Amino acid sequence: MLIANSDRRMVFAGAEKMPQGSTVTKSHMTTHRKEKSKVIVTESSDLPVDIESFKNTLGGLAEVKSIEVPMRQLSSSEEDELIRELADVEALFVRSGIIGKRVIDSSRKLKVIAIHGVGVEQVDVSAATENGIMVTNVPGGNAEAVAELAIGIILALWRKIPLADRKVREEKWSEGKSSGIELKGKTLGIIGLGHIGSRVVELGRAFDMNVLGYDPYVAPAGVGSMGVQIVDLETLLKESDIVSIHVPLTEQTRQMIGEKELRLMKQTSILVNTARGAIVDEKELCSALENSVIAGAALDTFEEEPLDPSNPLLKMDKVVITPHIGGSTRECLTFIAVVAAKDIAKVLRGEFPENLVNRDILTKRGTRAAAIAP
């Protein structure tokens, strides 16, 4: 069931508060004003939105309602409810829920779907394009948060921080005192040199690591100055002590790390995935860890989330696991809410958004997007 968040009751952003002492003249009161646009925000208890920053950025432009939607494929009755909620809504800001074709096809007033973050697989973008609905995202919005988490879970794994913490609490002080590995002088291999990957390059350099990068879509000259050596994937896998994945999930990257790639890695190396679970063949990863093909893994994303309690990864001390918290920092939530609201505001005012995902919409004759294309 989708729930209208009770603590976030329907809010009329920028409600008409007159400054104290000001006079409301009759003409003010009778001036015809366009009805406010309606905006729906989807969130859940573990996937919150900085709703105050979102509303403040929209100003008086829209009426914002937040509804609780689970982070998964919606059942058909949940989709029916969402369709009802969206009946007279012009903008949808999506943090939770998979927004499929049926919801999009049925939401006749929707002009824009803003995605909370950079990855867009949560929304059926082609259905939105077919319906002339713009899809926006927030590129780079969580780069710092994810990059810092990647380094954090690498340190946690190599210094065995979760294990040490657990042993101390179990009153087994000495058992928590195992020795770890330093980052300095090691080789960090980064797959995908976009917003997050390039920040991980900088952080790796700050730890005096040698950094290798693989990204066929960036010009080596552009990233060379960051102190990363561009190599092919095979070289990166063979030479790195840490392989960290920062590509989007696409048809090309789905299961791009499988048995063959894991076997190319050093036996002492570790795999870090803070991108998307399906980029790694998880069954092959488990087998590589069980058979000491690689030494460990630090994972924030999984093929299936939440993790099934029977998942063998949960039993391995050579694996550090976090529950998809890469982008979960206060700073990141505020940044994303503000950027998404700015783009929604632009679309509602008939302007062109900064971060349009479905640029092919511009060539679709007769759509709103084509009409306002710069």
Helix 51-58 / helix 330-348 crossing angle, nearest 10 deg: 30
The single residue of 324, 330, 354, 359 carrying the catalytic annotation is 324
Asked if 214 interacts with ligand NAD (CB under 6 A), we say: yes
C-alpha angle 194-190-205 in degrees, rounded to nearest 5: 95
Q: Is 48 one of the binding residues for ligand NAD (CB under 6 A)?
A: no
Binding segment (CB under 6 A) for ligand NAD, from list 37-45, 181-189, 248-256, 290-298: 248-256
Q: Is 305 a catalytic residue?
A: yes
Active-site residue 276, yes or no? yes
- Does position 97 interact with ligand NAD (CB under 6 A)? The reply is no
Regarding 219 and contact with ligand NAD (CB under 6 A), the answer is no
Selected catalytic residue, list 79, 276, 282, 284: 276
Q: At its nearest, how many Å lie between ligand NAD and the CB of residue 122? A: 10
28 belongs to the catalytic site: no
Candidate list 48, 227, 248, 312; residue touching ligand NAD; CB under 6 A = 248
What is the pattern of x (binds ligand NAD, CB under 6 A) and - over residues 113-152? Answer: ----xxx-------------------xx-xx--x------
Least CB distance to ligand NAD at residue 163 (A): 23
Q: Is 193 in the site for ligand NAD (CB under 6 A)?
A: yes
Rule CB under 6 A: say whether 276 interacts with ligand NAD: yes
Query: Does residue 204 belong to the site contacting ligand NAD (CB under 6 A)?
Result: no
Contact pick of 124, 215, 239, 282 for ligand NAD (by CB under 6 A): 215
Residue 327 touches ligand NAD, criterion: CB under 6 A: yes
Cβ atoms within 10 Å of 290's Cβ, excluding its own: 12
Our finding on whether 218 is near ligand NAD (CB under 6 A) is yes
Cis bond before residue 306 (omega within 30° of 0): yes
Active-site hit among 102, 130, 305, 368: 305
Binding site for ligand NAD (CB under 6 A): 117-119, 139-140, 142-143, 146, 191-197, 214-218, 246-250, 252-253, 274-276, 300-301, 324, 326-327
